[in-house]
A and B are shown apart, each in its own frame.
Chain A
Amino acid sequence: MDLLESYPLLQTIAERYNTWAVILLMVSGLYIVVAKSNMIKTLIGMALFQTSVYLLYLSPGKIIGATPPITDTAFAVYSNPLPHVLILTAIVVGVATLAMGLALIVRINEAYGSIEEDEVVDLVDRQDKAEE
């Protein structure tokens, strides 16, 4: 800890380790969505990106040394329960979206024989041009 205290910039950076986790997950998730052609990889990237948002909401909600909101004189400092409930809802929405996306990929695979987005979009364009 002496190392950290002698360099205040390092201490500031190390204190916010949850924010760094959020940034890392968000950027890698978005990169996967944009750069990868395999549809399943895109969905995994999307799930990573959503996880980073959950962390962003959840980590300020917990206060070290705090209890759930119990109305008793013995407990003075409460953690905020609202972010937990909101993020539970968001996680459920994320699960439903993931299931829907995977179902679409299964159907696309049956219809086109491929799960590479480049190949499938190419086949779609070719069908469009052939109809003209």
Chain B
Amino acid sequence: MSTPADPQPALMLADQLPALLVVVPMLGAMVASLLRNGALGYLVSLIVSWVSPVIALAMLWQVEASGPISYAMGGWAPPLGIEYRVDEANAFLLVLISIMAALCITFAPRSIASEIPAQSRGWYYAMFLMCLCGLQGMAITGDAFNIFVFMEISSLAMYALIAMGTDRRALVAAYQYLVIGTIGATFYVLGAGLLFTITGTLNLVDMADRLQPLLGTRAALAGLAFISVGIGLKLALFPLHLWLPNAYAFAPSVATAFLASTATKVAVYILVRFVYSVYGVEVAEAHEIDTAIVLLLAVLAMVAPSIVAIFQANVKRMLAYSSVAQIGYIILGVFLLNEAGLTGGLSHLFNHAIIKGCLFLAVGCIVFSTGITKIDQMAGLGHTMPLTMGAFVLAGLGLIGVPGTAGFVSKWYLIQGATEAGLWWLVAAIVFASVLAVFYVGRVVEVAWFREPSPEAAAPRPVPVEMLAVTWILAALCIYFGFETDISAGVPAEAARILIGGGADG
């Protein structure tokens, strides 16, 4: 704090980037709610969501050049004040969230016009921007209670995004998500409160230092348990995933695509931050039985939802169960407790967001053109909508993990991590789950190309150019990140090295 005698030096725009990343979407959401018009709301969202990737990329570049960025909110220096802290582990997550938001908003106008009633469209864009603000705040903040505040901002916006469509089943899905999500957030507050009581601070870096002598106490372990379960409810870790299939299946297409790519990923980041930076790898290594239980749950998460996905009739619900399975991969990578595994987990976080975003946006194009939601109704769609289904197939190949796609890179690191840990049954499980993915993706391919066009698929409306362009940009990124792994695997490797090396430094 400065005294009247010596004022602090004025800050440049480049120093204000962390705060701007959160403030710009928040102000955009308020402007959109004051305007209350669908078209103007779209314009505001477009501007805000294309400014955010610029800010996030600038911060990623800054972190790579000169190490972690620390921004003191309100001028109060940490550990007393709230600190926004960007290092390798969350810089690329911020880039991911903002780019997915920008692409989804570019996709959105005609899709929203067909799925949301006219008087709600302005509010829809306002809720989208609040969700973006909450997710980015969650990823950037370095204060344990601030995480809860942004978590609930993004969650409330998500419940609204899911429920605003015309499908009345979405209301029930949003309600169930609300109850389960709020219990998860309250468990997180419980855990953070226990940590605050024993360490006396809420700043994550300071908490890590003060927690070191207290690691064996029951309060510290109970805090970790509560935080893990609370975040597990948010990230839909099997068996805490019951809200996800219905929420993704009945929400409007743009909402599903955005949520599937970002919401669970930020929760994974929070879990990684607590397990690796605040507690340290040694705690997880010391509690072998608990780590083994989590690995077992991750394997169940990879296999069981994949099997359920094969028998689904609704294409969005099939992709939702596939999402639960992919989160199993990510958690497997995180809890392998070695650098290759963590790199695989973080890399799959990034790649899966792009792959699932592309798949759900392709389904959004299909829903816009034909209103089809069932896989059986998609018969012959490969002939009547070749471009959309082509993007779907490319992303599906990425989901399976075919060499040359982004999915292969992250699964390669996961297998490397599993062999380093000496757990060969995990390698077998990873391969088996990928084979299951062949079945549920292959089912859609078979129906779309090898059958006669069904009456719904016979005469589709032409897909608007912006929707097709965004879907194909993401499909191209799936292939691009299979070969150029600087951002998708290089930055996660660097982040894994920092996190395992004792993350709280710098």
Residues of A within 8 A of B (CB): 30, 33, 39, 42-43, 46, 49-50, 53, 56-57, 60, 83, 86, 89-90, 93, 96-97, 100-101, 104-105, 107-108, 111-112, 120-121, 124, 127-128, 131-132
Contacts and interface: CB of A to CB of B under 8 A. Distances in A.
Nearest to A101: B178
Contact of B175 (A30, A56, A104, A128): A104
Given A93-B149, A127-B169, 6 more contacts: A53-B190, A101-B175, A101-B178, A101-B182, A108-B172, A131-B373
B135 interface: no
Contacts of B160: 100
B190 A111 contact: no
B114 interface: no
Chain B contact patch, size range: 20 to 34
Contacts, number: 76
3 nearest interchain CB pairs?
A111-B168, A104-B175, A93-B152
A130 to B, nearest CB: 12
Given A33-B183, A86-B145, A100-B159, A60 B197 contact: yes
A104 B159 contact: yes
B403 to A, nearest CB: 36
24 contacts: A39-B175, A42-B179, A46-B179, A53-B189, A60-B197, A83-B196, A89-B149, A96-B152, A97-B152, A97-B178, A100-B178, A101-B178, A104-B171, A104-B174, A104-B178, A105-B175, A108-B168, A108-B171, A112-B172, A121-B172, A124-B169, A124-B246, A128-B169, A131-B373
B50 interface: no
A102 B453 CA distance: 44
B156 interface: yes
A96 B156 contact: yes
A124 B156 contact: no
Nearest to B190: A53
A52 B78 CA distance: 30
Nearest to B149: A89
Which of A60, A100, A108 has the most chain B CB within a 10 Å cutoff?
A: A100
Contacts of A83: 196
A86 B146 CA distance: 9
Contact of A111 (B171, B185, B313, B314): B171
Contacts of B33: none
A56 B183 contact: no
